[in-house]
Amino acid sequence: MSEKVQQFKCPGCSADLAFSVDKQSLSCPYCGNAIEISQDEYPVILEYPLETAREKASRDWGGKTTVIHCDSCGAETVVNENQLTTECAFCGSIHIRNQSDEDIIKPETLLPFKIDKKEAMDKFRLWLKKHWLSPNNLKELARAQKINGVYIPFWTYDADTHSLYTADRGTYYYVTERVWVTDNNGKRRSEQRQVRKTRWSSKSGSFRHFFDDVLVCASRTEGKNLIRRLEPFHLNELVPYKNEYLTGFLAEKYSVGLEQGFDEAKSIIQSKLTSMIRNRIVADEVRNLQIRTSYSQVTFKHILLPIWMSAYRYKGKVYKFLVNGQTGEVKGEAPISAIKVFLLALLGLIIVAGILIMFQNI
């Protein structure tokens, strides 16, 4: 039995409601009615034990959904079954098709958009103006460019860690030695100097630390590096997932699985543990640090984070531009004008030549 598609109708004119970034509520684009999104007074954000994820994590997205697959870049977005889209938000390709959405873990929480489409486009155009090495006609392209609000999937992991470590601890000490030096006249003479030495000793110990909300991007799209550069997101503003927040936006399906995501989280954790443990060892130098870590009480959340995304084509190549939908942070890619680079290099040569001529005439 299929689920009924969840639609939100305006009580005044029966038009479809959409999430309003300004009002942080459902809003009617025709008569202006605003409907508050109901929230519990003390919302509970659940985290699930990693080992029971398959049994306990919810698959209910609040209505019948379908997955749109892009044959060009491989991105997959989750949309309401009746929502039509003709191109991929990640690369602009029209080579898209529907496929099954079975067994997709539902997001537990999300960050609603705080930056609206107009502000995101303004940031795009301002960003392009600062890239003066880009072709001039790129700014003309920006005026007609479309931008999509996309919820990008992330996993967060909590974990208790217990680490055993060994290392070589180095302590500096100084000895007086007589060394031979050559003075400005080419004469050799001996003099006394303080020479630094290092005394090495073994160090071992244990270290416990609880990691909260280790963030892992669950997207494999080509723009993943740009997405990471949009961090940080303020996760203290997470709200429980409700389908109303997705109206008017797309949501990418995670392509990094839960277990693979935890492998990435462990890499992040190990990097932080290395820094923490190194700082705990009282020494002038630390070498050969070896750490063995065990994990317990591991829990996860599937969350959606808001990003405005534009994929534009210039001379057959796809470039991406992203805006953090919560903070307004901007990252992007832009083509470089070969003519402008040549003129800049030529200008540099002229300036260097002018400086050399000036010094020769002094």
133 within 8 A of 336, measured Cβ to Cβ: yes
> Domain locations in the chain?
1-38, 39-165+203-345, 171-202
- The predicted structure's pLDDT at residue 4: 34
Q: What is the pTM of this model?
A: 0.76
User: In the structure encoding, which two tokens stand for residue 47, read together?
Assistant: 């985290």
Element (H, E) at 224: helix 224-229
| Helix, strand, or coil (residue 269) | helix
225 within 8 A of 152, measured Cβ to Cβ: no
Q: Of 320, 137, 330, 85, whose CA–CA distance to 219 is shortest?
A: 320
| Helix, strand, or coil (residue 258) | helix
d(CA 264, CA 9): 42
| Residue 214 buriedness (CB in 10 A; 0-12 / 13-18 / 19+) | buried
321 within 8 A of 134, measured Cβ to Cβ: no
| Helix, strand, or coil (residue 329) | coil
* pLDDT tens-place values along the chain, 362 residues long: 233 335 677 877 877 788 888 888 888 878 878 888 877 666 678 888 888 766 656 555 555 566 777 767 667 776 655 454 556 766 666 555 555 555 677 888 999 999 999 999 888 878 777 765 566 666 665 565 678 898 999 999 999 999 999 999 999 999 998 888 888 887 888 888 888 999 999 999 999 999 999 999 998 876 778 888 898 999 999 998 888 888 888 888 888 888 999 999 999 999 999 999 999 999 999 999 999 999 999 999 999 999 998 877 777 777 788 999 999 998 877 666 666 656 666 667 777 667 777 766 66
Kindly calculate the radius of gyration of the chain based on its CA atoms and give it in whole angstroms. Answer: 28
CA-to-CA separations, 219 to 115, 169, 264, in angstroms, rounded = 22, 41, 12
User: In the structure encoding, which two tokens stand for residue 170, read together?
Assistant: 């180095």
d(CA 335, CA 333): 7
Give me the long-range contacts of 332-335 (CB less than 8 A, separation at least 24): 332/124, 332/127, 332/226, 333/226, 334/128, 334/131, 334/134, 334/138, 335/134, 335/135, 335/138
d(CA 291, CA 339): 52
Count other Cβ atoms within 10 Å, centred on residue 199.
10
- The predicted structure's pLDDT at residue 127: 78
d(CA 230, CA 120): 14
d(CA 225, CA 213): 20
d(CA 258, CA 213): 14
